[in-house]
Amino acid sequence: MCDHCIDSVEDAHHYFFTCPKYTNFRDVLCQTIQNIFDCDHIFDLDLLLYGSPDHGLNINTQTYIYIEATKRFI
């Protein structure tokens, strides 16, 4: 269960995309990824967890920065 949301399961999708506790961090992550791709790329869980072969470690690095900034798992 999510510590912040009532009756919400905290899975990866909830953590990265829906939990209101992380909205500001999510906005930064989304904008940064949009800048890396220089377009409206599909922003989904697979991209965050597995990265993009066309962008090396950039996506993985941004995902790590998000996790570190939210202090959820560190």
Residue with tokens 């912040």: 4
63: containing domain: 12-70
Q: Which pLDDT score is estimated for 19?
A: 94
The crossing angle, in degrees rounded to 10, of helices 58-70 and 23-37 is 170
Q: Which pLDDT score is estimated for 17?
A: 93
Q: Which pLDDT score is estimated for 42?
A: 75
Domain total in the chain: 1
4 located within any domain: no
0.75 surpassed by pTM: yes
2 located within any domain: no
Tell me the C-alpha distance between 13 and 27, whole Å: 15
CA distances for 50 relative to 7, 13, 45, 60, angstroms = 28, 14, 8, 7
Task: Pick out the chain residues at pLDDT < 70.
Answer: 39-41
Return the closest-CA partner of residue 22 out of 7, 37, 33, 12.
12
